[in-house]
């Protein structure tokens, strides 16, 4: 799509600002419905329409409440969750994802897609982890930029969220986060910074929580200082829905557009109608009285108009497409490439799809619709292929026996609805099915019910819900030839891991879920996904939980990130706590060998490029892909450091027997730490160790280098 000239846009904005009344300007700074803000009809300025994302375009919501409008033409393609996208370690695929989802947004005449999310995976209890890109800031940064480019190339704005430290759902509207500047800048900020400076994102959504005692949706330091001054963000800051809490702070501290603030939207006289938002009549009164300067208003409207010129007022914008085969193909490809093979004892996987065998498919997630539910990312998929359906269509020669095994009840935002079916009877039927089969595929995990992978409430414990751990024990006793397909956006406890033959992490895969899973189970697709976060053995092994209640979820709405920079594998490596499965881990149906590992020097200066090279050979019998990962650690640092940190990766696809040379480069400046004594980045001189391998816990070779 041809871009508009920036100087031309700014000139047009100046002209419009001169014609707008103060009342019209204020009206543009707040919602007029659940998902739109007003334009100015007399000047031909259109409304601005938004849609929840980032996994697809949400079904149409009523004007004034959260009910669905009941349209029959708002079915969408459901794409895999962003955890799955992150697990692909494939930035090219991320751009395909962004392009496809924005084409659907464009078809639905949406101007702002509310995503992607890049909050860091801090605890496996967070209900919204499935919407994010894992625990590592480098991985999230590299994956989010092409997603943004893919979305915005079609004239739809990405809305990067939730800025920042929105890392739990419990108390999300109240908790005040205390964190060191080092952890803020090194762990929780980089993906947002990359989205702004490299992705050139057009809008950002503030977070619900507080930082330094001030709500993130109007936070002087986060928005005015860091985002708009230091990072030179020129887009619009949008609240999370209901994220504004104070008119004067909203006026002064960086918020541009207020959405969702407890309005029933029925009449102007209603207590919480749209004209009584914080940035509505109360703001207008402050402006007229001189309590806040008019310059704050002009800056907000300028940013909103800039967003409009890039989207709804862009004459070069196309029309989009919806639910086409190309989008389904993208969803299926991402799903297949993101599935992670965690365990494969005795080559349990792949399963030959032409064999005449009996397969017992056990577990509610084999048939449960998983595109609805989960909160704001729920989708109205035109067709969701269940795992059971996908396996049946692929394994045509097999006899497929299905047993539900357990029942979780229907998904409902904000509350748990008890299941109607008797779980004891379901368990008995499952055990009977297991005894009749040659092999068992247990398809369980979490779902998008409240207190599972769902907005508005964190998980209550680390184990599998609905009695699955006990059920799985009984199933394995009945048939030891059992593999597990874990569908979730989070790590789970695995007391049964030593008893099963195979394990796949399959995520929430959207419309093509069943086909993507069947592709990998059958071997048509060789698994190449890598874990974007660590699976601890037990919850207390996770850094956020190690320090007790003050660290998670907080005490009296006050919380301290006591683990500091040691998030995920940084914690496990540094504290020598063995994980269940490490960050970056993922098996294949073929074998890869790394050799000829070299580094371009062993002495470097500040600002110099470090280049790792190696040869990768597929020594097995199947085409496949490997992810080469490069980590770096500082030896004898003057500040506490993680043992190592991801600084580069490369995914490479190889035919059997093929060899390819790979180079991974980064700059010595990428090894700097955030020095709180100078409030800036500092690169230490001295000795570093470079680690090269295919997982954070599987290093093929190390190099010692010096920086002077």
Active site members: 240
The answer to whether the beta carbons of residues 618 and 591 sit under 8 Å apart is yes
Q: Burial level of 615, CB count in 10 A (0-12/13-18/19+)?
A: middle
From the CA atom positions of the chain, what is the Rg in Å? 25
Distance between CA atoms of residues 625 and 381, nearest Å = 30
Q: ω before 65 within 30° of 0 (cis)?
A: no
Distance between CA atoms of residues 156 and 211, nearest Å = 30
Closest C-alpha to 238, from 254, 251, 226: 254
Q: Burial level of 638, CB count in 10 A (0-12/13-18/19+)?
A: exposed
Beta-carbon contacts of 450 under 8 Å, excluding residues fewer than 6 positions away, are 411, 412, 413, 414, 415, 416, 456, 457
262: how many CB neighbours lie within 10 A of its CB? 11
Dihedral pair phi/psi, residue 579, rounded to 5°: -80, 165
**What is the distance in angstroms between the CA of the first residue and the CA of the last residue of the chain?**
46
Distance between CA atoms of residues 361 and 402, nearest Å = 5
Distance between CA atoms of residues 430 and 441, nearest Å = 11
Distance between CA atoms of residues 451 and 125, nearest Å = 9
The answer to whether the beta carbons of residues 251 and 296 sit under 8 Å apart is yes
Closest C-alpha to 308, from 570, 530, 566, 20: 20
Beta-carbon contacts of 134 under 8 Å, excluding residues fewer than 6 positions away, are 83, 86, 87, 120, 121, 140, 532, 533, 568, 583
């Amino acid at each position: 799509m041809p871009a508009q000239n920036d100087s031309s846009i700014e000139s047009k904005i100046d002209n419009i600002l001169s014609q707008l009344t103060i009342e019209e300007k204020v009206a543009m700074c707040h919602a007029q419905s659940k998902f739109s803000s007003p334009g100015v009809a007399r000047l031909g300025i259109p409304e601005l329409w938004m849609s929840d994302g980032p996994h697809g375009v949400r079904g149409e919501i009523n004007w004034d409440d959260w009910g669905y409008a009941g349209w029959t033409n708002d079915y969408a393609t459901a794409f895999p969750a962003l955890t799955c996208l992150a697990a692909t370690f494939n930035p090219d695929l991320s751009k395909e994802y962004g392009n496809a989802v924005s084409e659907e947004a464009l078809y639905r005449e949406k101007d702002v897609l509310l995503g992607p999310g890049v909050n860091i995976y801090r605890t496996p209890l967070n209900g919204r982890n499935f919407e994010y890109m894992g625990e590592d800031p480098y991985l999230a940064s590299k994956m989010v930029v092409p997603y943004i480019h893919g979305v915005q190339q079609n004239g739809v704005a990405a809305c990067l969220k939730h800025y920042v430290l929105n890392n739990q759902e419990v108390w999300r509207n109240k908790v005040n986060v205390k964190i060191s500047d080092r952890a803020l800048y090194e762990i929780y900020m980089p993906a947002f910074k990359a989205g702004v400076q490299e992705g050139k994102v057009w809008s950002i959504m503030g977070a619900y929580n507080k930082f330094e005692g001030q709500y993130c949706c109007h936070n002087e330091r986060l928005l005015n200082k860091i985002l708009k001054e230091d990072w030179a963000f020129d887009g619009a800051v949008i609240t999370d829905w209901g994220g504004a809490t104070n008119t004067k702070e909203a006026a002064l501290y960086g918020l541009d557009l207020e959405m969702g603030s407890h309005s029933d939207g029925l009449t102007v006289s209603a207590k919480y109608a749209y004209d009584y938002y914080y940035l509505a009549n109360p703001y207008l009164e402050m402006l007229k009285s001189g309590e806040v300067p008019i310059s704050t208003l002009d800056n907000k409207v300028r940013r909103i108009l800039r967003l409009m010129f890039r989207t709804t007022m862009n004459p070069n914008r196309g029309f989009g497409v919806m639910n086409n085969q190309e989008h389904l193909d993208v969803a299926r490809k991402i799903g297949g490439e993101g599935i992670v093979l965690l365990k494969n004892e005795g080559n349990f996987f792949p399963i030959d799809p032409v064999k005449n065998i009996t397969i017992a498919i056990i577990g509610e997630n084999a048939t449960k619709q998983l595109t609805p539910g989960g909160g704001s990312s729920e989708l109205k998929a035109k067709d969701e292929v269940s795992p059971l359906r996908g396996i049946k269509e692929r394994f045509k020669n097999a006899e497929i026996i299905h047993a539900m095994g357990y029942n979780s009840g229907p998904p409902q935002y904000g509350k748990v609805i008890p299941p109607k079916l008797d779980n004891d009877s379901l368990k008995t039927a499952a055990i009977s099915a297991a005894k009749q089969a040659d092999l068992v595929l247990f398809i369980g995990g979490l779902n998008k019910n409240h207190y599972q992978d769902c907005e508005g409430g964190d998980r209550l414990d680390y184990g599998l819900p609905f009695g699955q751990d006990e059920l799985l024990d009984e199933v394995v006793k009945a048939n030891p030839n059992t593999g597990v397909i874990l569908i979730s956006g989070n790590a789970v406890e695995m007391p049964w891991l030593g008893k099963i033959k195979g394990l796949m992490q399959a995520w929430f895969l959207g419309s093509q879920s069943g086909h993507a899973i069947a592709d990998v189970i059958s071997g048509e697709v060789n698994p190449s996904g890598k874990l974007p976060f660590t699976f601890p053995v037990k919850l207390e092994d996770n850094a956020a939980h190690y320090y007790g209640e003050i660290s998670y979820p907080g005490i009296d709405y006050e919380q301290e990130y006591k683990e500091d920079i040691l998030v995920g594998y940084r914690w496990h490596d540094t504290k020598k706590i063995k994980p269940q499965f490490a960050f970056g881990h993922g098996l294949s149906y073929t074998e890869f060998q790394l050799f000829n590992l070299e580094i371009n020097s062993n002495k470097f200066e500040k600002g110099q490029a470090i280049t790792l090279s190696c040869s990768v050979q597929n020594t097995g019998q199947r085409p496949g892909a490997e992810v080469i990962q490069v980590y770096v650690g500082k030896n004898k640092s003057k500040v506490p450091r993680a043992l190592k940190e991801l600084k580069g990766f490369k995914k490479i696809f190889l035919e059997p027997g093929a060899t390819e040379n790979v180079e991974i480069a980064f700059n010595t400046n990428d090894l700097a730490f955030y020095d709180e004594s100078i409030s800036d980045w500092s690169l230490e001189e001295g000795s570093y160790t470079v680690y090269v391998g295919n997982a954070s816990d599987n290093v093929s070779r190390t190099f010692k280098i010096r920086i002077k």
